[in-house]
Amino acid sequence: MSLSIGVDVGGTNIVCGAVDADGRVLRKLKRKTEAHLGHSEVLRRIADMVGEIRETLGSEHEVIGVGLGIPGLVDPKAGISLNSSNLNWRNIPVASELEALIGLPAFIDNDVRMYVYGEAIAGAGRGSGHVLGITIGTGIAAAIVLEGQIFYGYKALAGEIGHVRMEGVDEQCACGLSGCLETVASASGMVRQAKKAIREGRESLLNKAFPGDTLENLTAADISKAMDDGDQLATEILTRAGALNGRALAAATMVLSPEVIIVGGGGALAGERIMAPLREQLLDLILPEYREGLKVVTAEHNDDAGIIGSALYARHQL
C-alpha cells in the first residue's frame, strides 16, 4: 500500500506519522524539536524520524512523499519557511533541504492549514465542499478548504482570524495590535486571564489548587476542570472565550458561507464548555439562511489532524 508521511513541526515537539490514503495513521513517532540547535539539526532529526518509520513498515508499504506543517508564514509553492517565530526560522528552504536528506519529495504548508486540511478531507469536514476551521491554541488561526483545495488568499496570508479586533477586549497583543481575539479567547489567553485574576486576588478554586509560584503551572485543562467543579472564574473565562470565538466566526460565516465550521487545537479539548457559548453566540449573530444546515463541530482527530493533513497534502501534490 502506498503511504505518505505527515510531520507536525511544533515549537516543542515534532510528531511524525505514516498515513494511508484514507487518512489512517499507521505509525507515529514523537521527539523534542530543540529548535535552539538550528534548522539543519531539526531537519536532520525529522529525516531520522522518517527513516525510522520507514524501517518499521513492512515491504508491502511504499512511502511516496512527506508533508510538513510548519508554524508561521510559509511559501508553500517554493517550499520555504518565510518566518516562524516558534522555530526561529527565516527563509529556510525546508522542502529542498529535507528532500536532499531523505530522497523523497517533500511539501510544506502552514501548520494550521495542514491541520484543517486533515480535518476537512478525512475528519469532521469529510464530504463537505466548504470547510472553515479554526485552531484554538497558543494563538487562534483559521484555514479554509474549498472543494478539497486549501484557500490561500493573496500572498498566502488568509486565515489570521486571531487578530481580528473584538469589542470589549483591550489587551495588547504580541503582534502589535490590541484587542485581538487571541489575547483572551485562545488557550494561552485563557490561562493568562486566569493567572491575572488570581494574582489580583480573585477568589477561585484555581487559587487553592495553584498556591504561590505554582500558579505558573496552570494550563487550559486546569481551567476546564475548575469549571466542572463549579468555579465561577473558570466558567467566566471559558464562556467568554467561546462567545468571542463565536462572534468572530459569525462575521466570517456571513462573508464566506461555510457548510462546516471545525473547532480544533488544544482549546477545543474543553469541548462543550467552550463550544456551547461559541455556538450560541455564532447562531445568534448570523442570518437565518446561514443557520440552516450549518454544522459547528470539534475536530475529530485533533492531536493527529496535523500529521494526517500534512501526509494527505503531500499525497495530493504528487
Which of residues 155, 211, 213, 230 is near a copy of itself by CB under 8 A?
A: 155
174 makes contact with a copy of itself (CB under 8 A): no
97 makes contact with a copy of itself (CB under 8 A): no
221 makes contact with a copy of itself (CB under 8 A): no
Nearest to 134 by CA among 202, 186, 209: 186
CB 296, min distance to a copy of itself, A: 13
Q: Quick check: helix, strand or coil at residue 227?
A: helix
36 makes contact with a copy of itself (CB under 8 A): no
d(C-alpha 174, C-alpha 305), whole Å: 27
Which of residues 100, 177, 221, 318 is near a copy of itself by CB under 8 A?
A: 177
259 makes contact with a copy of itself (CB under 8 A): yes
Which lies closer to a copy of itself via its Cβ, residue 80 or residue 226? 80
d(C-alpha 262, C-alpha 299), whole Å: 6
Backbone angles phi, psi at 93, to 5 degrees: -75, 70
Nearest to 67 by CA among 32, 134, 18: 18
293 makes contact with a copy of itself (CB under 8 A): yes
Which lies closer to a copy of itself via its Cβ, residue 152 or residue 205? 152
Q: Angle of helix 94-102 relative to helix 39-56, nearest 10 degrees?
A: 40
Which of residues 18, 250, 282, 312 is near a copy of itself by CB under 8 A?
A: 250
Q: Quick check: helix, strand or coil at residue 26?
A: strand
d(C-alpha 109, C-alpha 75), whole Å: 7
158 makes contact with a copy of itself (CB under 8 A): yes
Which of residues 26, 104, 209, 251 is near a copy of itself by CB under 8 A?
A: 251
CB 271, min distance to a copy of itself, A: 25
d(C-alpha 313, C-alpha 318), whole Å: 9
Q: Please give the span between the terminal C-alpha atoms of the chain, in angstroms, as a whole number.
A: 15
129 makes contact with a copy of itself (CB under 8 A): yes
285 makes contact with a copy of itself (CB under 8 A): yes
Q: Is the dihedral of CA 23, 25, 28, 32 positive or negative?
A: positive
CB 170, min distance to a copy of itself, A: 12
Which lies closer to a copy of itself via its Cβ, residue 88 or residue 151? 151
- What angle (nearest 5°) sits at the alpha carbon of residue 258, between those of residues 170 and 145? 95
Residue matched to cell numbers 486546569: 222
Which lies closer to a copy of itself via its Cβ, residue 62 or residue 284? 284
Rg for the chain, CA atoms, rounded: 20
Which of residues 113, 130, 279, 301 is near a copy of itself by CB under 8 A?
A: 130
Q: Which residues are near a copy of itself by CB under 8 A?
A: 73, 128-130, 142, 144, 146, 151-161, 163-165, 167, 175-177, 247-248, 250-252, 254-259, 285-290, 293-294
